[in-house]
Structure 1
Amino acid sequence: MSLYSFFGCLFLAYGPILSIFFLYIARNAQYVLLMVSSAFFCLIALLISSVIWYLAKKTQSTHAVTIAYSVAIQEIFRWGFFRILSRAETGLNLVSRNPNSPFNRPVFGFVSGFGYALMSCLVSYISLLVESLGPGVKMCQSCPGLSLFFVSAINTTIFSLLHMAWMMVAFEGFSSYKTKSGMLQITWVIFSHYGASYATLFNASDIHLGCVYSALIGVVILAISCAWIAYGLKSRNYINRHTN
């Protein structure tokens, strides 16, 4: 039964992100390089968070504190990656399939978000996934009828999609940070990242069906982010049609 659980959680956690890779990103060498670069930035952010966690022994068991500085470091590196990418954006546009397309920046944001999503989800869930091979089963505290492996797999899927959405929204915000909408987008990414991360604390709480609330909060944040992205793409399409 543990083997069935392992593969079930494996495909649930990484199925969507692997599908996106093989169906879209793997076909373009430029996207693969951009994905690897973004994943490297995320890895550095996670490494710094791990070092802080190791040194701050008094707060190692306080997950709220760990989330506070981990999210902050990830967002700082998200901004740093955008700064580097913006310097190379002209060259990236030249070698892209559509050099003059107004949608290149959202595509770059999506691929960069994929790299962030891939690395963060691998680091956060892979050890727990291996534990699902047995011999025991860990049950979720807030949802005793579900295993922790299954609940964490759902959260991994949600966060993988969230990171891609956050990166696209953040890229738009960083590129127009002097405007009200740009600052609003940056603020949304930061606070929604904190909200989704702190919502995962419901899984280990005594709140009845806390794991359901955690997942719902993540889905709502994802829906709002996707609506924001759709509005931005629609606006770009409108501007493109009226300038050509």
Structure 2
Amino acid sequence: MSIIDELGYLFIAFGPSLSLFFFTVARNPHEVIVMIVGAFFWNLSLFFASIIRVIVPPLKDEPAWSVPFAVMFQELFRYAFYKLLIKADDMLALISEDTSELRKHKLAYVAGMGFGVASGAIMFSNVLKSAAGPGTVGIFGDSNYFILQSAFGASIFVLLHICWGVLFFDAVRNKDWIKLVIALSSHMLASSLTLLNSWYSPVYSLVFCAILLVLLAIYSLHTAGANFKKLHYVLIPFIKTS
């Protein structure tokens, strides 16, 4: 694979999250730190899940058992990160220019982005490294679009983690157990569906995860206080210029 191809796949996987980072996070140094710490916590969850996978032989031999454990550790460390942010909230409020209620949702958004970028990097880096060669994708009858499907999958999961972060933090803060169940169950479902890629085309899980992303994105925006009734005020300038 050429360098141009690798860059193309890389931007498919991380282009949307990279755009969100530069337009919404990069200007605030403390939010960049929160994002980096969030990525560190996700890697900690992977580390502990890997230890359990090595200790318990059935988890090593059967991915259907290891994936739920990995998801549970991710959510446990998301909760640990939430508790850490709560303790540091007063200090963050002093250095933040935003003192509104929206700041809490922004921190959840940034934390979710950190989790998502770390998750996407682990998901896609090995695929991209293997695709660099030597070898040919599809030589054993696999899809020639495997790398492209992996890139879209990584991109979707990065954005899903942002939604899960917003929903999870708000659910724990307000003790909204229904919202918490939605966040946890959708994470478990989306991750478990990837296990079907060994038997069926990855397109099925991608389509489902994309639909799930749209629904959770709408729910996350509603949770953060977005007013969909005023959406047409945002769209009118784009419609007039098109």
TM range (shorter): 0.7 to 0.9
Instruction: Find the residue that maps to 2:88 and give its secondary structure.
Output: helix
Partner of 1:41: 41
Q: Which runs of 5+ in 1 are unaligned?
A: 238-244
Matches of 1:138 and 1:34 in 2, distance apart? 38
CA distance in 2, matches of 1:16, 1:84: 27
1:5 aligns with 2:1: no
Normalising by the residue count of structure 2, what TM-score does the alignment of the two structures yield? 0.86
CA distance, structure 1, for counterparts of residue 165 and residue 136 of structure 2: 35
Letter in 2 for 1:112: A
Match of 2:86 in 1: 86
Taking the TM superposition and a 5 Å limit, the aligned residue runs for 1:22-61 are 22-61=22-61
Residue correspondence of structure 1 range 111-122 to structure 2 within 5 A: 111-122=110-121
Q: How many residues align?
A: 229
Root-mean-square deviation (CA, aligned residues, Å) is: 2.3
Q: Matched residue of 2:167: which SS? A: helix
Letter in 1 for 2:119: S
Structure 2: give runs of 5+ residues left out of the alignment: 229-242
For residues 75-117 of structure 1, give each alpha carbon's deviation from its aligned partner in whole angstroms, at most 9, with x where no partner exists: 0111111111112222212221122x11011100111111111
Paired residues of 1:155 and 1:215 also in contact (CA < 8 A): yes
State the TM-score, normalizing by the size of structure 1: 0.86
Counterparts of 1:139 and 1:169, CA distance in 2: 39
Deviations 1:137-173 (A, max 9, x none): 33499x9443322211111000000001100011110
1:140 and 1:148 in contact (8 A); partners too: no
Aligned partners of 1:173 and 1:218: how far apart in 2?
22
Q: Give the counterpart letter for 1:225 in structure 2.
A: L
Mapped pair 1:125 → 2:116: no
- Conserved? CA contact 2:194–2:205, under 8 Å: yes
Of all paired residues, the percent bearing the same amino acid is 28
Residues 35-69 of structure 1: CA deviation (Å, up to 9, x unaligned): 11111111110111122222333432311111010
1:109–1:167 Cα contact (<8 Å) kept? yes
Any residues of structure 2 matched to 1:1-244 within 5 Å, and which?
A: 1-99=1-99, 101-139=100-138, 144-177=142-175, 182-205=176-199, 207=200, 210-234=201-225
Counterpart-to-counterpart distance in 1, 2:5 and 2:138:
13
State how far apart, in whole Å, the 2-side matches of 1:4 and 1:171 are. Answer: 39
**Secondary structure, counterpart of 1:234 in structure 2:** coil
Contact 1:6 1:130 in 2 (8 A): no
Offset, 1:216: 1.5
